[in-house]
Chains A and B, each alone.
Chain A
Amino acid sequence: DTGVSQDPRHKITKRGQNVTFRCDPISEHNRLYWYRQTLGQGPEFLTYFQNEAQLEKSRLLSDRFSAERPKGSFSTLEIQRTEQGDSAMYLCASSPLSRETQYFGPGTRLLVL
C-alpha cells in the first residue's frame, strides 16, 4: 500500500494559463475526493468520485474547473484560465467505503502569478 500520490507537487503558472493535476488513490479505494486549502483555512471540498462517476460537485467548482476519473483509477483536475485566486494547495484523498476515513495525498501547491 503506497498511499495516495499526487503530481506535480508544485506548480507555478501565469494567470490565464491552464493547469492539470493528477491523483493516484490507494489501490482498491473506489472513492476519490478533491479538496482545496488556502493559508489559515481548513480544506474545502471540491468534488468526489465513486469509481468513474462524479457524484457531487461544490459550488466552489466553477466552470473553469473540471475533474475526471475515466477508468475509476487515477483522477485529473484541470483549471482553465487560471486566476490569482486559484493559488492554493490542492489535496486529493481516497477512501474504501462511504463515510470511511479519507487518506490524503501530499497535495499540489499551485501559485498563479
Chain B
Amino acid sequence: QKEVEQNSGPLSVPEGAIASLNCTYSDRGSQSFFWYRQYSGKSPELIMSIYSNGDKEDGRFTAQLNKASQYVSLLIRDSQPSDSATYLCAVNRDTDKLIFGTGTRLQVFP
C-alpha cells in the first residue's frame, strides 16, 4: 500500500463544473496536508493547506479533511480550462518531509 494514494486520472470535467479530487493516506499520525498544482514541465505550486478536520475554503477551492477515514479532498468550483493540470496531494507525518501521491491529472474542456 502506498503511503499517499491518488487516482491518476485523467479526470475530465466541462468548464463551469465542480471538479472533485481525492487522496487517501495510510499513516494515522499524519498531521499536515497540502494540495499542490503542477502544470506540465513546471514545479509544484501550493493551492491549499489543511491541518484539522473539516472544510477550508479559499476562493474557488475547498479542501476537506477527514482524519478518521484518512482522506483529504479538493473541490474546484466553476472549473476553468486554466485549471487543467496535475494536482498533487502531500502529507507531513512526524518529520518535516512531504510524502506525495502520484497526482491526478485534471482536464477541463470548454
Contact = CB atoms under 8 A, between A and B. Distances in A.
Interface of A: 31, 33, 35, 40-45, 48, 55-56, 58, 89, 91, 95, 98-107
Interface residues of B, number: 24
B57 interface: no
Interface in B2-60: 4, 8, 31-32, 34, 36, 42-46, 49
A42 B102 contact: yes
B70 interface: no
Interface of B: 4, 8, 31-32, 34, 36, 42-46, 49, 88, 90, 92, 95-103
Contacts of A45: 97-99
Q: What DSSP secondary structure best describes chain B's contact surface?
A: strand
A99 B31 contact: yes
B109 to A, nearest CB: 22
A68 B44 CA distance: 23
Given A100-B32, A104-B45, 7 more contacts: A42-B100, A44-B100, A45-B97, A48-B96, A55-B96, A99-B31, A101-B34
